[in-house]
Structures are given as C-alpha cells and as structure tokens.
Amino acid sequence: MKARKKRLKMSKFERLLYVFTFALIVATPISIIFSQATLSKINYDVEKTKKKILVQQKKNESLEMKLDELASLDKIQEVAKAQGLGYNGDRHKTVTEGADKDEEEQEEQK
C-alpha cells in the first residue's frame, strides 16, 4: 500500500494572506518601474525647458546688442542725415542749477 500524503486545509484567512502577499510581490516591481519612467519623463521635460530658456536668453542678448547699436549716436546721426535732418547746436541752451542766480545777477546789473 502506498502512503497517501495528507493534504492540509487552509483557512480563508490564510488564502487571503497568500493572495495579498502574491499581489504585493507582483505590484512592487511594477510600481518601481512606473515611478522611474515618470521621473525620466520629468527630467527630459526639465532639460528641454532649460534648453528653450537658454535659446531665448541668447535671442534676448542679441536683441539688446542690436538695440544698443541702433541707439548709438553715430547711427542716430546717420539716420537723421538720411532723412534730411541736421544738427544745429546754436539753438540749444544749457540749464544748470545755478542758472536762476546768474539771471538775477544780470538783472541787478542792468
């Protein structure tokens, strides 16, 4: 006669415990992979945004240099001359802080 193995009966709690453990063992690596993929995507987006910022900063610097070039006195005089305008220094007066006192002294002398 062959010896038969006795089969142990599991309670519902033990079966639930085994199912939960198996689910946990399967879900943990999946969640780790998912979180790493999400982190990689976020890092990619950050680097892409940094590159856009760098390109925009270079454009801004270029435009500032162009603005400074166009605002230079030589360029303004060149454009004015091309438009038929000229510089007449005789028509300008210089005003300083002591100008009121000088005018009062001139009026007193008259």
Q: Would the pLDDT of 53 be above 90?
A: yes
Rounded to whole angstroms, the Cα distance separating 43 from 47 reads 6
Tell me what pLDDT residue 84 has: 85
- Please report where in the chains the tokens 């940094």 appear, as a residue: 50
- Confidence at residue 56, expressed as pLDDT on a 0 to 100 scale: 98
- Residue with the bigger pLDDT between 92 and 65: it is 65
Is residue 99 very low, low, confident or very high in pLDDT (cuts 50, 70, 90)? low
pTM of the model: 0.52
Task: Name the pLDDT band for 39 (thresholds 50, 70, 90).
Answer: very high
Q: Which two tokens stand for residue 61?
A: 């610097």
Amino acid at 52: K
